[in-house]
Structure 1
């Protein structure tokens, strides 16, 4: 386990309660733009949430109502510090490529543009305010959305719509993204965190190992052939069915009580 960066608790807030970790981007004066401190903090938090068996679901959110994240901190890039905005294991923000097994929910208020859009796209689910916007404006500046946006959007949206967003650089509002299925739940801005916690609670009551293994296979649905997916699914099923939780679930059901999960 790497040492906890000083930026955890400052540029990025982190707390765990009732099996749910809440990660809050907290650079309000920079519209939560990603610098080296944010990248190192998110990288450490990804590692910590994977290690901590008490964490079953993670919510990624922002301290601002007007902006989820402004993407890369351009002032850092102008100083020649672009490399510090990524980590070896997690890529941009220490996050977009990190191999996370637990479900992450993005709770988005305000603008989620450029790298600030690629962070929610790297999560498993999105709860968004009805006044939020999502987009990849990089082409308007002659640059490239290199943190996964150009291929994750087409996996989440109808092809032609995704290509329009990529090519024009124009954002789409939350209601349109909700209609198209990118957003799981859309609520007024003041209700975003409550709704994200409600979704997290629906997940956290389930068997942790079963959730992780099910997501492991579901995330690969577009990556492999059916034969490969049957193999991966069978391997996951073998792990889950041989677990203590697989015994506890049916036992709790028959005894008419809430299950006590061990996560193994």
Structure 2
């Protein structure tokens, strides 16, 4: 273990109902090797299985890099791709279905696989000095574990192609303007703002949060009529659950109280 790092490349801590998974290889700009990828995968599985955890934050040590992608030193020694996990992808994130909200707290450069991680998250909060990009093209490679594909699904063609084909970095403010980052905040406020956003999510019934996320994932690639039909097919769970009935009753009770006081 190097100074400031962690033996397994990542660790998890808790803040109430939020699990915070931290990449801990600042001396390598939080590049992900095979050991780190397996460690993050295990931590996410543990957080998913823990009923007391309602949301997961992914961040990193230091202020220079969130994640610089795969560990090129390891790749040069044993070949690329050892940080890819079947069914989970790069760093155990980019190709897996996660039922709980996943929030990236981007404390520095998020490039290559680092950007692919961000694109796989549900929400992204970035420090104002953070940069993003897919520099693989400059090294004769392509970001194939979700980077190109998610940009194709989320951005207009010209905006996506600029990121993909130039490999040039983009600042946090531009990423927010493109709709790929939710909030840009001063670096010292990054974790506080991220936890505040997580708190807004967790203020809602967890079953509704989980079902809304699942419906979004099911519907985003469907034609609108099929997406609407998918919602109707799930209506009993979405609108007639114990939580939804309690929410309707509470809302009706508050309205009645207001009327009585008028």
Q: TM-score, normalised by structure 2?
A: 0.89
Q: CA deviation at 1:188?
A: 0.9
1:171 aligns with 2:169: yes
Mapped partners of 1:58, 1:13: distance in 2 = 13
Mapped partners of 2:140, 2:80: distance in 1 = 16
Aligned pair partner of 1:238 in 200, 220, 236? 236
User: Where do 5+ consecutive residues of structure 1 fail to align?
Assistant: 1-6, 257-264
User: 1:197 matched to which residue of 2?
Assistant: 195
Aligned pair partner of 1:223 in 221, 224, 232? 221
Mapping 1:114-153, distance limit 5 Å: 114-153=112-151
Deviates more, 1:233-242 or 1:101-110: 233-242
Contact 1:137–1:169 (Cα < 8 Å) also in 2:
yes
Mapped partners of 2:81, 2:149: distance in 1 = 22
Mapped partners of 1:219, 1:174: distance in 2 = 25
User: 1:110 matched to which residue of 2?
Assistant: 108
Contact 1:12–1:41 (Cα < 8 Å) also in 2:
yes
Count of residues in correspondence between the two structures: 250
Mapped partners of 2:229, 2:16: distance in 1 = 34
Q: Which secondary structure state, in structure 1, belongs to the residue aligned with residue 221 of structure 2?
A: coil
User: 2:257 matched to which residue of 1?
Assistant: none
Q: CA deviation at 1:124?
A: 0.7
User: Where do 5+ consecutive residues of structure 2 fail to align?
Assistant: 255-262
User: 1:210 matched to which residue of 2?
Assistant: 208
1:100 aligns with 2:85: no
User: 1:84 matched to which residue of 2?
Assistant: 82
User: 1:37 matched to which residue of 2?
Assistant: 35
Q: Which secondary structure state, in structure 1, belongs to the residue aligned with residue 246 of structure 2?
A: helix
Deviations 1:28-52 (A, max 9, x none): 1111111111111121122222211
Deviates more, 1:48-57 or 1:221-230: 221-230
Mapped partners of 1:232, 1:45: distance in 2 = 31
**RMSD (Å), alpha carbons:** 1.9
Mapped partners of 1:235, 1:60: distance in 2 = 33
User: 1:182 matched to which residue of 2?
Assistant: 180
Mapped partners of 2:209, 2:166: distance in 1 = 37
Contact 1:131–1:174 (Cα < 8 Å) also in 2:
yes
Contact 2:33–2:74 (Cα < 8 Å) also in 1:
yes
1:57 aligns with 2:25: no
Q: 1:8 to 1:240 in 2, by over 3 A?
A: farther
Mapped partners of 2:203, 2:105: distance in 1 = 20
Larger Rg: 2
Q: TM-score, normalised by structure 1?
A: 0.88
Deviates more, 1:194-203 or 1:174-183: 174-183
Contact 1:12–1:42 (Cα < 8 Å) also in 2:
yes
Q: CA deviation at 1:145?
A: 0.6
